[in-house]
Structure 1
Amino acid sequence: MAVVKSPLSDELRTVVGQALQGSLIDLIDLSLTAKQTHWNVTGRTFKMVHEQLDELTATARAASDQVAERAVMIGVNPDGRVQTVAHETSLPTVEPGWLPEDKVIHAVVDALAGTIARFRERIEAVESEPVTQDLLISITGQLEEHHWMFSVQR
Structure 2
Amino acid sequence: MSPLRTPVAAPDRSATAGILQGALVDLLDLSLLAKHAHWNLYGPRFRSLHLQFDEVVTIVRAQADEVAERAATIGASPDGQAAAIASSSSLPSFAPGRIKDTEAVTTLMSALSAVISRMRESTETTGITDPVTQDLLLGITGVLEKQLWKLRAGTNA
Bin of the TM-score, shorter chain as denominator length = over 0.9
Question: Could you report, residue by residue, the CA deviation over 1:9-55 in whole angstroms, capped at 9, with x for unpaired residues?
Answer: 11110111011000000000000000000001111111100000001
Q: Partner residue of 1:121?
A: 121
1:66-85 maps to which residues of 2 (within 5 A)? 66-85=66-85
Q: Kindly report structure 1 stretches of 4+ aligned residues shifted beyond 3 Å.
A: none
Give the deviation of 1:2 after TM superposition: 6.4
The TM-score normalised by the length of structure 2 is: 0.95
Q: Partner residue of 2:58?
A: 58
The TM-score normalised by the length of structure 1 is: 0.96
Work out the CA distance in 1 between the residues paired with 2:52 and 2:112: 13
Give the deviation of 1:88 after TM superposition: 0.2
Work out the CA distance in 1 between the residues paired with 2:121 and 2:2: 32
Work out the CA distance in 1 between the residues paired with 2:26 and 2:2: 28
Q: Partner residue of 1:143?
A: 144
Give the deviation of 1:139 after TM superposition: 0.5
Asked if the contact 1:4–1:73 (Cα under 8 Å) also holds between the matched residues in 2, the reply is no
Work out the CA distance in 2 between the residues paired with 1:13 and 1:35: 32
Work out the CA distance in 2 between the residues paired with 1:145 and 1:2: 42
Consecutive unaligned residues of structure 2, counting only runs of 5 or more, are none
Q: Tell me how many residue pairs correspond in the alignment.
A: 154
What is the RMSD computed on CA atoms of the aligned residues? 1.1
Q: Partner residue of 2:89?
A: 89
